[in-house]
Chain A
Amino acid sequence: MSAAGAVADMAAIVFTDLVGFTAYTDAHGDRAAVDVLDRQSSIVSDELFGQGRIVKELGDGLMLWFGDGPVGLAVACSVLASVSAARDRDEFPLAVRMGMHVGDVIGRGDDFVGQTVNIASRVADLAGPGELLVTEQVVRSLDENERTAVFQPVGPTRVKGVGAPIWLHRLAT
């Protein structure tokens, strides 16, 4: 794991977001909303299994850090599957959407900053309920011979401060 400081390290950043959380809070109240957030953190922590960490909570979402792309992707897929299974059992009321990018990040205390973080956040915004979107850099970070995940191109997006378009792919389920 990166120590705090100005040195940039390669990392994979994943953002999660709960779809419809505000409406759920309106309908069911603050206590139920807190229970959902706790349940999300619990599911993610179980799937991390020491392979990365929750950097911080952002409203109804989480920012996750991983040392490399393949590990981050594997955990992100596991989180999606766990949330979906919990929803099927009526144990979790909301769908999650996720976005992922790999690149340099700079540690700042327990946090990470940089365009890699900004891009991963933007990617999560574009995902639909129950979806994981990743950048082309994530797909390229995977060993083609060991790649089991199937991706579908969904389009390019632009992020302020980044000149070139960022091409996105959807994890096919």
Chain B
Amino acid sequence: MANDTQVPLELLRIAGGSGAVRVHAVAGLGAVSVDGASVVVEGAAATVDGGSSRVEMRVPEGLDLVIGTSSGRVEVLGSVGSVAVITTSGKVLVDEAASVDVRTKSGKVDVNAVSGECRIIGGSGRVTVGRCGASHVTTDSGRITLREAHGKVHAHCSSGRVDVTMVTASDVDAETVSGRITIAMPADANVRVDTPASTTVGVRGEYDCVVTARSGTGRVVVR
């Protein structure tokens, strides 16, 4: 049986455990409907404590979400507002959000589209982001892939590969200790590149953006 909130919400907080958390954002929906857990409403915010159960819910589009699990998978489907997720080992999938903040020790992270800031602190799992604004992504050993970055990018990895494709001429700071770094810039961008192998000296004002890329042992390619 579903538990429905009767009032419009601005924020939904979901505390899960080993069970999966799945959120469907639905256009035109006025309230939150939850299967698998009870809901406590305080003002414009509601809190769901799912324990170790699987939790599934339908929420209005644009709602802000704060979610945590231990090993449970987190899926946010549809278009939501800001999304923050903490999980120890659960996989994370975010379909479309205004901003994203994900923290995981080992789970894989996939974000399809984020219009604003994208902050991901990963561990051993790979991180893949589609369309994104300013992005700050760090992992221990997980590969980092940003497919369509529209803002300043900071991508740091201890031992994995880093692949960044920039859509706009924005600054990129990419670093890995042992993996390969590949950065693709827009064809018409006037870029200053700083790498250990190649440093173009110039006044920043002469360039659209600065790309800084460093790999301890891997190859660095900026094109």
Q: Does B101 contact A (CB under 8 A)?
A: yes
Residues on A with beta carbons closer than 8 Å to the beta carbon of B91? none
Q: Does A161 contact B (CB under 8 A)?
A: no
Residues on A with beta carbons closer than 8 Å to the beta carbon of B70? 158
Closest B residue, CB atoms, query A19:
B138
Residues on A with beta carbons closer than 8 Å to the beta carbon of B17? 158
Chain A interface size, under 10 / 10 to 19 / 20 to 34 / 35 or more: 10 to 19
Q: Does A150 contact B (CB under 8 A)?
A: no
Q: CB-defined interface of A157-173 with B at 8 Å, one 1/0 digit per residue?
A: 11000001101101000
Beyond A153-B66, A154-B103, whether A128 also contacts B119 by CB under 8 A is yes
Residues on B with beta carbons closer than 8 Å to the beta carbon of A29? none
B15 and A126 contact, CB distance less than 8 A: no
B85 and A155 contact, CB distance less than 8 A: yes
Q: Does A114 contact B (CB under 8 A)?
A: no
A165 and B66 contact, CB distance less than 8 A: no
Q: Which of B13, B103, B158 contacts A128 (CB 8 A)?
A: B103
Alpha-carbon gap, A156 to B21, bound state (A): 13
Closest A residue, CB atoms, query B83:
A155
A23 and B177 contact, CB distance less than 8 A: yes
Alpha-carbon gap, A68 to B103, bound state (A): 28
Beyond A128-B138, A155-B67, A156-B66, whether A20 also contacts B158 by CB under 8 A is yes
Residues on B with beta carbons closer than 8 Å to the beta carbon of A126? 86, 103, 121
Residues on A with beta carbons closer than 8 Å to the beta carbon of B177? 23
Which chain B residues (90-126) contact chain A, with CB distance < 8 Å? 101, 103, 119, 121
Q: Does B156 contact A (CB under 8 A)?
A: yes
Q: Looking at A128, A152, A164, which has the most chain B CB atoms within 10 Å of its CB? A: A128
Residues on B with beta carbons closer than 8 Å to the beta carbon of A154? 66, 84, 86, 101, 103
Q: Does B68 contact A (CB under 8 A)?
A: yes
A156 and B138 contact, CB distance less than 8 A: no
Q: CB-defined interface of A112-128 with B at 8 Å, one 1/0 digit per residue?
A: 00000000000000111
B13 and A129 contact, CB distance less than 8 A: no
B85 and A129 contact, CB distance less than 8 A: no
Residues on B with beta carbons closer than 8 Å to the beta carbon of A27? 216
Residues on B with beta carbons closer than 8 Å to the beta carbon of A155? 66-68, 84-86, 101, 103
Q: CB-defined interface of A20-47 with B at 8 Å, one 1/0 digit per residue?
A: 1001000100000000000000000000
Alpha-carbon gap, A168 to B86, bound state (A): 9
A153 and B156 contact, CB distance less than 8 A: no
Q: Least Cβ distance of B142 to chain A in Å?
A: 14
Q: Does B148 contact A (CB under 8 A)?
A: no
Residues on B with beta carbons closer than 8 Å to the beta carbon of A165? 15, 49, 68
Chain B residues within CB distance 8 Å of chain A: 11, 13, 15, 17, 49, 66-68, 70, 84-86, 101, 103, 119, 121, 136, 138, 156, 158, 177, 216
Of the A-B pairs whose beta carbons lie under 8 Å apart in the complex, a sample of 13, sorted by A's number, is: A23-B158, A126-B121, A128-B121, A129-B138, A152-B101, A153-B13, A153-B84, A155-B68, A155-B84, A155-B101, A156-B66, A165-B15, A165-B49
